[in-house]
Amino acid sequence: MNKNKDFPKRYTIKDLVKLVNGKYEGKLSAEHLIEGISSIEENDKSKITFAENKHFLSRAADMAKGVVLIDNSIEDSNIDNVIKVDNVRLSYAKIAEKFKCTPYHASGIHKSAVIEDNVALGKNVSINSNVYIGKNTEIGDNTVIAPGVKISENVVIGKNVEIHPNVVIECHSEIGDNVIIEASSVIGSEGYGYITNDEGEHYHIPQLGNVVIEDNVEIGSCVTIDRGTQSSTVIGKGTKIDNQVQIGHNVKVGQNCLLVGQVGIAGSSILGDNVILAGRVGIVDHVELGDNAIVGAASIVTSDIPADSFYLGNPAQDRLQELKARAVRNKLPNYRRELNKLKDKDL
Amino acid sequence: MNKNKDFPKRYTIKDLVKLVNGKYEGKLSAEHLIEGISSIEENDKSKITFAENKHFLSRAADMAKGVVLIDNSIEDSNIDNVIKVDNVRLSYAKIAEKFKCTPYHASGIHKSAVIEDNVALGKNVSINSNVYIGKNTEIGDNTVIAPGVKISENVVIGKNVEIHPNVVIECHSEIGDNVIIEASSVIGSEGYGYITNDEGEHYHIPQLGNVVIEDNVEIGSCVTIDRGTQSSTVIGKGTKIDNQVQIGHNVKVGQNCLLVGQVGIAGSSILGDNVILAGRVGIVDHVELGDNAIVGAASIVTSDIPADSFYLGNPAQDRLQELKARAVRNKLPNYRRELNKLKDKDL
Amino acid sequence: MNKNKDFPKRYTIKDLVKLVNGKYEGKLSAEHLIEGISSIEENDKSKITFAENKHFLSRAADMAKGVVLIDNSIEDSNIDNVIKVDNVRLSYAKIAEKFKCTPYHASGIHKSAVIEDNVALGKNVSINSNVYIGKNTEIGDNTVIAPGVKISENVVIGKNVEIHPNVVIECHSEIGDNVIIEASSVIGSEGYGYITNDEGEHYHIPQLGNVVIEDNVEIGSCVTIDRGTQSSTVIGKGTKIDNQVQIGHNVKVGQNCLLVGQVGIAGSSILGDNVILAGRVGIVDHVELGDNAIVGAASIVTSDIPADSFYLGNPAQDRLQELKARAVRNKLPNYRRELNKLKDKDL
């Protein structure tokens, strides 16, 4: 039915070589147009891919008809068309960036957007359909706000920010430059704070702090980050958060941390820099993880973790200790039998 | 205040008998109108319910004043009005389908919908208020798009699809026929792929693949499914996904799988057909589960699982082994004491 | 760029003293204007804070320049300006309530809201931009519906309710008075009910019940609550639900329960009153938790739990038993060695 799918993003091999500071050796002309990236298996003449080790270099030699990024050090790859670079993966990422889908990037303000008083919009912003922006909010240059995003009042958003559809940003949130937030996430919701009276009823303590998302942070979809009780919940520079992560009020996450899918961090806990929380890790409230700490998948952290350590388990402990405990676990029924034998002999 | 709740869906007993190919025996006339389903307890003359075993048949005989679906094999149920069928539950499902709430099904395109260039809409589609549809997107016959749904560009959606409010579907997603997606889910968000440089900064690898949702798939609310890195994240035909499930980039889920609430599947893992993941199961990246595998609630799968197996635990292992290990666990303090006794004697 | 952030909420010290029935002793005039709350560290002359024990009272004496709430029993606090009260935390909560951000509270109906036939709106309601309200729905006095909320047909919502942006409320849901629902939550989605035929295909059983949210319930962001199969999924009066909680069809939660972040309750389970589920607790289907039961973080409840008990673990058991089992776990490699020594001696 619909025959006109456009391919607006095309670059010559020459363009791409220049982008990654590479060296081209191949049969295709340097003016040949590349229209996208692909896996090695699907690499036709209109595509570019990459190959990083012997296994993939060999597969590329067999089947890659388009262009392949390879390391500078490779002499004879037997691949039809290569661009040689210092860092293959980083170069691939730079090129892939050029082919990204950018559906919400038409500059200007859609007529259906609802923008309250005293909102300050930077240069070249894209405010898409059905966006809501509350009063006094500031949005920096080049920022893209996708359809359906709801930004409350007194929010500050930096430059080159990309906010996907239906994200909600509550009042007083501060978002830095180059931040990406995927669809349907919620920044700055009310945190979970209650006092219980003598009748067992829970009275809500209003959470009047905010959320601070620093520069270069990336946040997945359906992530929830609560605002602080009196000050800020902070996500440090360069930290990357995967889907469905929950971050409680007053949490401080350091710089360049990696929080993988479905992680949960309870209120007031603190992560240092470069901390890695694998998928589904849970952190209880009021604990501290030192710089460079790593926590293995599905672990539950119930007390402080030293810097540079690798923890695992529920409750989480040093990973080697945890693996020892696990190794023994399945042998326990045997111990029972052996213990019984010894007891019988002993009688 | 509001007295006019309409009940637009009414069917005669005769209609319903025909629908399920049943046999009616009862006091109420075949022209009597049924207005909805109910539990046995709440079964008045305007409702239909079902009873599947001795316990429920007996309760129905006591209290059901409306119509009750029962099995063909039951001779004297003592229930006032019965429809006898081959498969009680399946017949109930067919009838319940007729009483479903269909609030978003007014055909046509709401004037507030924002539809970009070159969008192809099938016959009898319902595009509700504040829907956004990006360019080149195709939507099949009879499909219902509820208020607030955001569909990006170059998306293909099949026939008879039902998408609930505020769902977000990112670019290049492919959705088959008869798919249902509940509210606020996100299909095709950017996956979690990073390379880390020597300074510890994480550089994002753009994920330029897509998501493919095959025919007859049903997806719950607040589900997140990331698109592939270079190719597709795939959900196979007939698979049913519950709320708050997270599916990482490049995952392939087979046909007729059941993924229960809060399940998480990390990148590049593969599920065969008919796999059942109970609630809260987590699957690490790059593992494979064979056809018909079952994983028990809250288990964490850390390596491949054979076809036809039943696994449980963290890390998941054969369920019987896991249960043996668990049975011993609480007796361990006793072992300690017995071991001590033996050691003391031995001195 | 944007110099005019307004501070619409200001109260004299006299106002606040009256609100909490307190006694003021301080250097600042009773007419002095307070503009917000703060932590003790950030307490300048325009702010109010609280101090509850020796540690915080001492810090407040050192650094709090504004007003500090303290207990009646404190004679000489050495704090510049105090309001003495019976219950410090409760008084703080009452005052904080006055400084809450209320961005969506402009009364009236935004012109972009889409309101179907026969909708009944109470007095002083705020229906913000791009809200959708389905037919026959009723909304009570003073209720605030934020931008982008989607309310289906035949829904009843009470008075003084606050619904944050992009929440979705499906048909026939009933929401009581004084309820708060944070952004992007989904109330009344289709539950997960299937019958499997002989070919392994799963046929959906339409869930035609509803969700009932009683008075004074508070619900976090990205929470999903499925409607009942034939009757209601119920959240009892005064219960507080944190972010990303998933509640399956037919669940009944009692009054004044606390469900912390990422909790999951599977279908048909029942919680009594005053039950506390710590973060990440999972409850399987068809179990019952007695009044006042407490379940520790990340536990998985697989069978009934008695009233007044404290359970922990996976599977959850009495907390003391669980802690004993955990205490032994790391010593198991030692047991192995000791057992071996005894066996060798025994040969």
List the single best residue of B3, B4, B5 to mutate versus C (max C Cβ within 10 A).
B5
- Asked if residue B3 has pLDDT above 70, the reply is no
B343 touches chain C (CB under 8 A): yes
pLDDT per residue over C145-177, tens digit each?
Answer: 999 999 999 999 999 999 999 999 999 999 999
Q: Tell me what the mean pLDDT of segment B307-312 comes to.
A: 98
Across the interface, whether the CB atoms of C166 and A168 are under 8 A apart is answered yes
What does the DSSP assignment read for C227-289? PPSSSEEEE-TT-EE-TT-EE-TT-EE-TT-EE-TT-EE-TT-EE-TT-EE-TT-EE-TT-EE
Torsions phi, psi of A235, nearest 5? -115, 115
pLDDT value, residue C1: 33
- Asked if residue C95 has pLDDT above 60, the reply is yes
Cβ atoms of A161 and A178 closer than 8 Å: yes
Cβ atoms of C227 and C188 closer than 8 Å: yes
List chain B residues with CB under 8 Å of A296.
Answer: none
pLDDT per residue over B195-205, tens digit each?
Answer: 888 888 999 99
- Asked if residue B272 has pLDDT above 50, the reply is yes
User: Tokens standing for B87?
Assistant: 């498969």
Q: Tell me what the mean pLDDT of segment B244-262 comes to.
A: 98
The stretches of B68-132 forming alpha helices (DSSP H) are: 88-98
pLDDT value, residue C197: 83
- Select which of C110, C202, C249, C286 is catalytic: C249
User: Tokens standing for B246?
Assistant: 């997270």
The partner residue sitting opposite B328, judged by closest CB among A110, A298, A336, is A336
Torsions phi, psi of B210, nearest 5? -150, -170
SS3 B224: strand
Above pLDDT 70, what percent of chain C? 97
CA distance A291 to chain C (A): 25
Question: Most distant CA pair in chain C: distance in Å?
Answer: 90
Q: Which residue has the tokens 């009723």?
A: C138
Residues B134 and B136: their CA atoms lie apart, in Å, by 7
Above pLDDT 90, what percent of chain C? 86
- Select which of B32, B105, B204, B249 is catalytic: B249
SS3 C328: helix
Report CA torsion sign: C172, C173, C177, C178: negative
- Asked if residue C6 has pLDDT above 60, the reply is no
Per-residue pLDDT of chain A (347 residues; tens, 9 = 90+): 343 445 568 999 999 999 999 999 999 999 999 999 999 999 999 999 999 999 999 999 999 999 999 999 999 999 999 999 999 999 999 999 999 989 999 889 999 999 999 999 999 999 999 999 999 999 999 999 999 999 999 999 999 999 999 999 999 999 999 999 999 999 999 999 998 888 889 999 999 999 999 999 999 999 999 999 999 999 999 999 999 999 999 999 999 999 999 999 999 999 999 999 999 999 999 999 999 999 999 999 999 999 999 999 999 999 999 999 898 887 777 777 877 787 787 65
- Asked if residue B246 has pLDDT above 80, the reply is yes
- Asked if residue C228 has pLDDT above 90, the reply is yes
Supply the pTM of this predicted model: 0.94
Across the interface, whether the CB atoms of A5 and B192 are under 8 A apart is answered no
C343 touches chain A (CB under 8 A): yes
Q: Tell me what the mean pLDDT of segment C215-236 comes to.
A: 97
List the single best residue of C163, C221, C336, C341 to mutate versus A (max A Cβ within 10 A).
C221
Half-sphere exposure of B310 (CA within 13 A, CB side): 6
pLDDT value, residue C338: 79
Mean pLDDT of chain B: 94
pLDDT value, residue C4: 40
pLDDT value, residue C190: 94
CA distance B102 to chain A (A): 23
pLDDT per residue over A24-35, tens digit each?
Answer: 999 999 999 999
- Asked if residue B245 has pLDDT above 50, the reply is yes
Q: Label the pairing between strands B81-85 and B23-26.
A: antiparallel
Across the interface, whether the CB atoms of A282 and C298 are under 8 A apart is answered yes
Between the alpha carbon of residue A147 and those of residues B167, C184, C235, C257, the distances in Å are: 12, 15, 33, 37
